[in-house]
Structure formats: structure tokens, C-alpha cells
Amino acid sequence: LGQLALHSWLGIAVALWLLCAGSAFLPPGRTRSTLLLLFSTCGILFLVLEGHAIGFSGWNWLWLENLTGPLAQGQPAMGAGALLLLTIFLLIFAFALAERGVLRGDAFVVASIVLLVALVTTFVLYPVLSLFVASV
């Protein structure tokens, strides 16, 4: 709670997590899986964009600095809490896909594939794309 008081924008991630948790009270079906897919995708995108927007010395994107002004301090790399929250959003996404019947509803296989895709994206696709962007 102390971090939420210091950084109010963290409330967005917590709100998305609470929306996912609240969806658990809906009856299983297409509506619940759609809401879980929507909220978990928003949570994943929010964490990825927030992690890239603020660098070690301030804003990474000039348009954000022009819009909001310079930051007093940047942020170091995301820690264990962000990794845990990102993993939770990925697993909620996988379970929502399994609830829709993807891979015959086998949640373990769907979650394994989702986590594998996330790891390959993080450690292979992202560095290669970063090299391509830096070369231009």
C-alpha cells in the first residue's frame, strides 16, 4: 500500500487485477472468458508499456516528456513484484483461453504455451527487434 501512495499510476495495474479477480464470481462461460481475456490483455499491455516508457534516467519517449514534463528521477528495472504481476496476467490470459475450449480446455498445456511464447518474446524477439530499431 505504501507504493500505491507514492505512485498513484500503480492503481491501474491493481484495478485491472481486481477486475480479473471479480470476474471469477461470474458463471463459467463465454462472457467470463471474454472479460478475463480483455482485462488480462490490458494488464499485460499496461505493464509492458509502463516498463518501456520510464527508463533509468527519466522518460524514454520524447512525446511523454513534452506532454508531462521531465521526471525528477527515473526507475530502475522492474522488480519481483512486476514479474509476479505479469506472470499472473499471463496465467489469467491462458486460463481464459482454456475456458473457451482452446486445446480442448487443457489449462496446463495452454498456460505452458503462453508462458513459452512470453519467454521467447522476451529473450529472443525483443532483443532482435531492439537491434533492428537501433540500426535505423
pLDDT of amino acid 1: 63
DSSP secondary structure letters along 15-80: HHHHHHHHHTTSPSSHHHHHHHHHHHHHHHHHHHHHHHHEETTEESSHHHHHHH---SS---S--H
pLDDT of amino acid 124: 97
pLDDT of amino acid 26: 93
Coil vs helix vs strand at 110: helix
- C-alpha pair distances (Å), 36 with each of 2, 72, 90, 101: 28, 36, 11, 14
For the chain (136 residues), the mean pLDDT of every run of 10, in chain order, is: 72 90 91 96 93 87 88 82 93 97 96 98 94 90
Asked if 32 and 98 count as a contact pair (C-beta separation under 8 A), the reply is: no
pLDDT of amino acid 104: 95
Locus of grid cell 490483455:
41
